[in-house]
Amino acid sequence: MIKKIFYTFIFIGILLWNAQARTVIPFNANWTFKKGPFSTSIIDYNQLFEGKWQLVNLPHTWNANDMQTKEIKPGSLGKNERFYTGDAFYRKSFVPGAEWKGKRIFIRFEGVNTNTEVYLNNKPLPTKEGKNELTYDNSQRNGNYNFVGRHQGGYSAFVFELTNMVKFGTENELLVKVNNEASPQVIPVNHTLFPMYGGIYRPVELIITDEVNIAVNDFASKGIYITQKDVTKKMANIAVKIKVDNKSGRKQPIEVLTTIFEKDGSVKAKQSTAYTLVPQGRQILTQQLTVKNPHLWQGLDDPYLYKVVTQLKRDGQVIDEVTAPLGIRKFELRTGEGFFLNDIKYPLYGVCRHQDRLGKGSALNNTDHAEDLAIIKEMGATSIRLAHYQQSEYFYSKCDSMGLVIWAEIPFVNRVTTFEDNNAQQQLKELIRQNFNHPSIYIWGMHNEVYTPSAYTVELTTKLNDLAKSEDPDRYTVSVSGYNVIDHPVNNNADVQGINHYFGWYNGELEDKSPKEDDVASWASRIREEFKDYRIIFSEYGAEAIPEDQAEEVGNFGNQWSNPSFFPEEYATKFHEIHWGVISKNPIFLGSYVWNTFDFATPITGLNVNPRNYKGLVSFDRKLKKDGFYWYKANWSKEPVLYITQRRMMNRGNEITAVTVYSNRGEPTLTVNGQLIKGVKIGQTNVHYIFENVKLKLGKNTVEAQVSSKDGKILADNIEWNYDPAYKQGPAGPTKSKTEHVGL
């Protein structure tokens, strides 16, 4: 099998080589993997190659299971009895063809968590082979590895050049050492808010270029940077900055050609520049293009994308080429008014998104990412806060083409160690350069809830903001407060202030009519008066909802998180109804983001049976959409929605109850056991209908809602409830009932 892989690889390389100037080869299949713990952090060749290695394909993580459950066999994970953090190794062999001589050879990793060391070794391949395991013959090895490079940080891409280290026409062996232990020098500095799943969990590729090329190793960016000025419906000025390397050792006369293509392939604009490259240093060229009567990128309504192709030509032949998307748009955050896209007010109906999922950890494929985006789009969200780290390149690209407006940020979260300064700046630079050309991104996130020590953190957040503005002066920056102190010195070193607040969950109450003014409505009123000149975004709010936890009635209590034994879905639903009702009426919040779209792992937490945050509107496996999901869909989506809540609270002990229906097509009718229910009141928004004092009969009850849609079709939803006084809530708390989800 190994020879077959070897020859197939050469054949593919030749095909790609003949097809284009720059060769990009996927490098994801047939890696071998071995996890520690090892007796020493120094690579011990003999110890490392003892025993068997697992055959894996990328993306891959070794924490897909142990970071998502508490039930791990004691003693099986080394020093951490909950989940494994530490060293692991990946190996792969490849054969550079003779046609690569005189070219530049790079390896690009899109994401490895968390700290990575790459080595190159030209030793023989394994001699024994099993079904999914490989055993290596150490007799011919001396452990002489060549160090290639090191990268710190688990969420951004990085590139190493292999040009002067490879041997042509023979087998070359890569060894990649990965470690996902938390450290004070690398953000995030702990596993508390979310897990750092260890592994090469995003794709890897080889990139082969001419000696004269558009920069590959400019912080793993595309090497071209597209900016736009003076955008109107009549004209837009587009600038393209191109970073070019010349490693030929002599002057090189070249032509730089940038072309902007319409979707149909026709040319919208182009610019050609003759240039003589000197053999020293990296050179930066800038081209100016004017696009007349541009087709504007207008979010979900019309996410039109041009394609920018930048080529280097020598003697009339293309020697390198890079493409990037171009969505021509301008955006503005107007204090007290909202977000404007191309001078049109555009709502930021936002959700936050973590990238992990049940049974896979962070090792997701494009199908997984596409499913998440489809769910978010179904909900009607217009914007996503990609928390709390750089996410996959595919995800950003799909947001461009779908029209979702994106908040991108670095994982400077939760804690300050005073040792993370350099790495935070590195990761911010990587985030911006690698994602500079995505039209969907409107803001760069500097930090999330970091404070003490204050003087150090003020200095670092100021540095981060200055760095962001130097790298990209045309986008906004944001810092996020979790203390509800808008004028805190740490937080006001960016253009926008994000506020994370959870009234009725961590503090305060959902609704408080007393003079304390400790609920979301009175807080919003105070913010509107005291900070009217600030740009403010409600960056997080949410409540945990375990679908198996159900309650007929929920109180107006605060600090609900302090009772982790019972997180009823109904309380979370009420939380979202009240919060969105307030947010929708307060333009002081220029945008808002629900925490979170999906349940996600929190391996350090001790709250629940599983180490999981249940604040998602959708379950960890993406199979169940909670009532809160349909609340936002009814409020945000243009698609017709009719939905009866509390569908999992089937066994009910109250004879007299309220029925809540979400309808974005007007007032619905409600029947219970075939009898029309009269009397309905409007709740928090105009899609929120509450039928009070509905009487149930003993046994099974059929509840049905109907409403006419705009096209005359009848929308209907129905559920079944079982009434028996024996189900009534007792002093020990509501009865739990496990039910099947009824989808729409």
**CA angle, 730 as apex, 724 and 734 as ends, to 5°?**
80
Which span out of 35-44, 558-567, 645-654 was modeled with the highest average pLDDT?
645-654
Residues 161-184, mean pLDDT to the nearest whole number: 93
Quote the CA–CA distance of 127 and 134 in Å, as a whole number.
8
Q: What's the order of all strands across the beta sheet hosting 31-35?
A: 128-129, 133-135, 52-56, 31-35, 87-94, 172-179, 115-121, 146-152
Chain-centre distance for alpha carbon 111: 13
117, 409, 420, 449: the catalytic one is 449
Q: What is the pLDDT of residue 1?
A: 38
Residues 591-602, mean pLDDT to the nearest whole number: 97
Q: Are strands 317-326 and 306-314 parallel, antiparallel or unpaired?
A: antiparallel
Q: What is the pLDDT of residue 75?
A: 43
Domain range list for the chain: 2-214, 224-326, 345-636, 651-727
Q: pLDDT > 90: what percent of the chain?
A: 75
Q: What's the order of all strands across the beta sheet hosting 104-109?
A: 23-26, 204-209, 104-109, 158-161
Instruction: Give the CA diameter of the chain.
Output: 91
φ/ψ of 302, rounded to 5, equals -165, 80
Is domain 224-326 classified as CATH 2.60.40.10? yes
Which residue bears the tokens 């490895």? 112
Q: What is the pLDDT of residue 609?
A: 65
SS3 of 377-423: HHHCCCEEEECCCCCCHHHHHHHHHHCCEEEEECCCECCCCCCCHHH
Chain-centre distance for alpha carbon 20: 32
SS3 of 639-653: CCCEEECCCCCCEEC
Quote the CA–CA distance of 331 and 218 in Å, as a whole number.
27
Whether residue 37 has pLDDT greater than 90: no
CATH of 2-214, one of 3.40.50.720, 3.10.180.10, 3.30.300.30, 2.60.120.260: 2.60.120.260
Classify residue 562 by its DSSP letter.
Answer: G
Which segment of 118-122, 135-139, 676-680, 712-716 scores lowest on mean pLDDT? Answer: 135-139
Residue 67 neighbours by CB under 8 Å, 6+ apart: 83, 195, 197, 361, 601, 603, 611
Q: What's the order of all strands across the beta sheet hosting 344-345?
A: 331-334, 338-341, 344-345
Residue 744 neighbours by CB under 8 Å, 6+ apart: 630, 641, 642, 643, 717
> Are 224-326 and 651-727 the same fold in CATH?
yes
Distances 563 to 28, 340, 365, 390, 506 between C-alpha atoms, Å: 45, 41, 36, 33, 11
Whether residue 98 has pLDDT greater than 90: no
What confidence category does residue 604 fall into, taking pLDDT thresholds of 50, 70 and 90?
confident
Residues 111-122, mean pLDDT to the nearest whole number: 91
pTM above threshold 0.75: yes
**Interval 326-354: pLDDT, tens:** 999 999 999 999 999 999 999 999 999 99
What confidence category does residue 131 fall into, taking pLDDT thresholds of 50, 70 and 90?
low
Dihedral angle of Cα 127, 43, 34, 426, to the nearest 10 degrees: -130
**Domain 651-727's class?**
mainly beta
Whether residue 583 has pLDDT greater than 60: yes
Superfamily of domain 345-636: Glycosidases (3.20.20.80)
Q: What is the pLDDT of residue 565?
A: 77
Quote the CA–CA distance of 328 and 298 in Å, as a whole number.
9
Which segment of 232-246, 251-265, 284-298, 595-609 scores lowest on mean pLDDT? Answer: 595-609
For residue 188, cis peptide bond before it (omega within 30 degrees of 0) = yes
Whether residue 562 has pLDDT greater than 80: no
Whether residue 27 has pLDDT greater than 80: yes
Number of H helices, E strands in the chain: 9, 44
Residues 311-339, mean pLDDT to the nearest whole number: 97
Quote the CA–CA distance of 486 and 532 in Å, as a whole number.
11
For residue 114, cis peptide bond before it (omega within 30 degrees of 0) = yes
* 423-437 core/surface letters (b: 16 or more CB in 10 A; e: else): bbbbbbbbbbbbbbb
φ/ψ of 45, rounded to 5, equals -60, -45
Q: What is the pLDDT of residue 485?
A: 77
Quote the CA–CA distance of 724 and 655 in Å, as a whole number.
8
Q: What is the pLDDT of residue 519?
A: 87
State yes or no: is 449 an active-site residue: yes
Classify residue 735 by its DSSP letter.
Answer: P
Classify residue 553 by its DSSP letter.
Answer: -
Residue 275 neighbours by CB under 8 Å, 6+ apart: 253, 254, 255, 256, 283, 285
CB 242 within 8 A of CB 256: yes
Residue 691 neighbours by CB under 8 Å, 6+ apart: 658, 659, 660, 661, 670, 677, 679, 680
What confidence category does residue 4 fall into, taking pLDDT thresholds of 50, 70 and 90?
very low
Q: pLDDT > 70: what percent of the chain?
A: 87
Amino acid at 708: S
φ/ψ of 449, rounded to 5, equals 55, 55
CB 551 within 8 A of CB 568: yes
Q: What is the pLDDT of residue 741?
A: 25
CB 328 within 8 A of CB 305: no
Q: What is the pLDDT of residue 169?
A: 87
Q: What is the pLDDT of residue 371?
A: 98
Residues 717-722, mean pLDDT to the nearest whole number: 97
Quote the CA–CA distance of 691 and 683 in Å, as a whole number.
10
Whether residue 652 has pLDDT greater than 90: yes
Quote the CA–CA distance of 39 and 47 in Å, as a whole number.
9
Nearest to 349 by CA among 321, 380, 327, 319: 380
What confidence category does residue 513 fall into, taking pLDDT thresholds of 50, 70 and 90?
low
The residue ranking higher by pLDDT, 56 or 74, is: 56
What residues are paired with 159 via a beta bridge? 108
Half-sphere exposure in the Cβ direction for 556 (13 Å, CA) = 10
What confidence category does residue 432 fall into, taking pLDDT thresholds of 50, 70 and 90?
very high
Quote the CA–CA distance of 523 and 508 in Å, as a whole number.
10
Q: What is the pLDDT of residue 606?
A: 63
Whether residue 530 has pLDDT greater than 60: yes
Nearest to 30 by CA among 112, 125, 162: 125
Q: Exposure of 438 by Cβ count < 10 A (0-12 exposed, 13-18 middle, 19+ buried)? A: buried
Quote the CA–CA distance of 405 and 382 in Å, as a whole number.
6
φ/ψ of 727, rounded to 5, equals -85, -5
Which run of H or E residues covers position 289? Answer: strand 283-292
Nearest to 423 by CA among 707, 672, 183, 685: 183
Q: What is the pLDDT of residue 504?
A: 87
Which segment of 49-63, 174-188, 324-338 scores lowest on mean pLDDT? Answer: 49-63
Q: What is the pLDDT of residue 134?
A: 54
